[in-house]
Structure 1
């Protein structure tokens, strides 16, 4: 199954809204760090339901916001959820971003980058379209150090890229992006039951669940275009 087919199914079944609810716990903290100024042009790469672009318009007064997704159904749903003429959605390929050189001020991606067929090429495309000084905020929960995410590959037919922290930094540098910061954003909102309620359907111990949400959380890597 292709990325398009997989996420068309997710969108038609309503899973796009569930993704938004889960991601928001850490996404809102990363979005708050983005140096978006009024009038800036922003791309949400792998936009899903489009929540990030709407948030940047509401809180940062971003100018034009584009949401790009490989799934036509995701893009269609995102447009239906959005009542803002400055936010638009399009279907596109991560390996050939449909934007001119030096045309985007900031790029955001949450839980989407690892679906790229060629992640190194995607980073080259990101570097190509960013204006000098522009930023790429790449947030992922599926990464090497987060051992609790490794089983995700078994639940989806798409091949996913599982890099560690250093591989992300090195790949950003190879693509020509300066690594401005990298850290883990903990999820402090997911409720964790008391120890005597374990094991659960998903967790053998409370310690594992605490590690997953409170320690590993979301890995954020920030690149800056020279």
Structure 2
């Protein structure tokens, strides 16, 4: 199954809203660090329901926000969640972004980058469309250090890229982006069940659950265009 087919099915099932609910706990902290100024043009890569782009528009008064997704159904759903004319949604390929050189001030991607068919090509495309000094905030929960995420590949039919933190840094640099920062954003908001709630279907132990949310959380890598 292709990425398009997989996520068209998710959108049809209403799972786009569920993605927003799951990711917001850490996404909001990473979004709060973006240096977006009023009037800036922002790209939300792999936008899903479009929640991040709408938050950027509302919080920073961005001039224009583009949400790009490989799933037509995701893009259609996202467009139905807003009537803001400054927020638009596109169907596109991560490896061939439909923007001119130096057209974007800042880029954002949450839980989508690892679906890129060629992640190195995607980073080169990001570097191409960013204006000098522009930033790319790349947030993922599926990465090598997060051992609790490794089984995710078995639950989805499309191939995913699982890099560790150093591989992200190297790939950003190879694409011509300066790595400004990288860290783990823990989830301090999710309510972890009391010990009496165990055993659960998803976790072997309470310690594993606590580690996943409080220790690993989201890996955030920030690149800056030269």
Runs (4 or more) in structure 1 with deviation over 6 Å come to none
- Please, which moves more after superposition, 199-208 or 170-179? 199-208
Q: Which residue of the partner structure matches residue 189 of structure 1?
A: 189
- Please, which moves more after superposition, 183-192 or 156-165? 183-192
Give the TM-score normalised by the residue count of structure 1. 0.99
SS of 1:159 mapped into structure 2 = coil
Q: Cα RMSD between the aligned structures?
A: 0.6
SS of 2:172 mapped into structure 1 = helix
Give the TM-score normalised by the residue count of structure 2. 0.99
Output aligned runs, 1:36-51, within 5 Å: 36-51=36-51
Answer yes or no: is 1:97 the counterpart of 2:101: no
Q: Which residue of the partner structure matches residue 131 of structure 1?
A: 131
CA distance, structure 2, for counterparts of residue 65 and residue 92 of structure 1: 15
Residue segments in structure 1 that go unaligned for 5+ positions in a row: none
- Residue 4 of structure 1 and its aligned partner are, at CA, apart by 0.3
User: How many correspondences in the alignment?
Assistant: 226
Q: Which residue of the partner structure matches residue 107 of structure 1?
A: 107
Question: Could you give the per-residue CA deviations for residues 168-191 of structure 1, whole angstroms, max 9, x where no partner exists?
Answer: 000000000000000011111221
Q: Which residue of the partner structure matches residue 64 of structure 2?
A: 64
- Residue 27 of structure 1 and its aligned partner are, at CA, apart by 0.3
CA distance, structure 1, for counterparts of residue 196 and residue 147 of structure 2: 23
- Residue 56 of structure 1 and its aligned partner are, at CA, apart by 0.6
- Residue 194 of structure 1 and its aligned partner are, at CA, apart by 2.1
Question: Could you give the per-residue CA deviations for residues 100-152 of structure 1, whole angstroms, max 9, x where no partner exists?
Answer: 00010000000000000000000000000000000000000000000000000
Question: Could you give the per-residue CA deviations for residues 152-176 of structure 1, whole angstroms, max 9, x where no partner exists?
Answer: 0000000000000000000000000
Q: Which residue of the partner structure matches residue 163 of structure 1?
A: 163
SS of 2:29 mapped into structure 1 = helix
CA distance, structure 2, for counterparts of residue 10 and residue 212 of structure 1: 24
Residue segments in structure 2 that go unaligned for 5+ positions in a row: none
CA distance, structure 2, for counterparts of residue 151 and residue 204 of structure 1: 13
Q: Which residue of the partner structure matches residue 221 of structure 2?
A: 221
SS of 1:33 mapped into structure 2 = coil
Q: Which residue of the partner structure matches residue 149 of structure 1?
A: 149
